[in-house]
Each structure stands twice: as structure tokens, then as C-alpha cells.
Amino acid sequence: MGGLQPAADREACDRVTLDNPKLHDLAGATAWRAAQLAAGRRVVLTNGVFDLLHTGHLFYLQRARALGDALLIALNADSSVRALKGPARPVQTEEQRAYALAALACVDAVVIFRTPRLTAEIRALRPDVYCKAGDYTLEKLDQGERAALEGAGARIEFMPFLPGFSTTRLIERIRAAGEI
């Protein structure tokens, strides 16, 4: 039973085009947001890398979604993930990560952002609620993003981590399992 080599496997995966109706560019996400507003729905915005979805992510996203009527995820583009996490990340491409997120019932829309900060997206999307994980505080938020959130009238919420879950820890466990 042959199969593809790891490099060939990754190249094959990178060539796959995934149909993802929940994935929008910023203009599409802004139109989606306007439709939510017209329908009287409260939109929650969160952002992150979401490289390998794990229990901690799922817990967080379900809790974030419960803060409103619709959840919009601003997903870090591959280039920003490399800048934040190093050259070996992301493990999955932005298209693959967006597809996985969109498959979740608690996620209503996804937009990929390509800038270091989310300020322009916040100004365009004007969320009702902005949610971040518990390692953030008001003081740790980027001041431009915070000003954009305050300008939009967004309520800012911080969700606690589910202890013991992180992508880095998951990658370490996968590597260790491969050595058994």
C-alpha cells in the first residue's frame, strides 16, 4: 500500500479547491453583516489562527456564539500566522482552516484578514460583540483595534481558556505519538 510521500501529500492538499459558502472577502462579509443588521441579529466577531481545531477551540467558539445571534470569524492569513508562530506554521492553509471552521454549526461566516491588525475589518463589520480568549485583557488589546471596537459600539468580552488545550500542545502530542 504505497500512498503519497509527506511533501507530495501536502502539495496535493494545497491544490484542492474547497467550496465554502460561509467564506467571504471583506466586501462580502460587510454585505453579510448588513443583512444580519437588517434582520435584527446581533453579530459576534472573534479572530485567530485556528490552525488545528481542538476541544479548546470548539469550547471557545460555542461560548462566543452564545453571546449573539451569529458568529463571524476573522481568520489570520497564512503570512500573518508565519509572522506570529514561526516558519513551520500554519500546518493547514488559510483555505483549509476556513473550511474547517465553516463546517461548524456555531460559525456563521468567515473572513480572512491579511493585515497585522484587524482595525479595518472592525470598522467595516461593526460587530455588536467582540470576543477574545482569556489571555487577553482590555489593556492587552491593540489600541487601534480597541478604538475601532469602541467606535463601533461593540461590547468586548473575554472568554476563559479550557485548561490543557492548545495547538502547540497538540502538535507536540502528535509528534510524540509518531515516535512510539
Q: Is the pLDDT of residue 169 over 50?
A: yes
Let me know: does 110 contact 72? Beta carbons within 8 Å.
Answer: yes
Query: Tens digits of per-residue pLDDT, 59-100?
Result: 999 999 999 999 999 999 999 999 988 898 898 999 999 999
Cell of 10: 501536502
Quote the pTM value: 0.84
DSSP 142: -
| Structural domains in the chain plus CATH codes | 18-178 (3.40.50.620)
Query: Tens digits of per-residue pLDDT, 1-57?
Result: 333 445 555 565 566 678 899 999 999 999 999 999 999 999 999 999 998 888 889
Q: Is the pLDDT of residue 163 over 80?
A: no
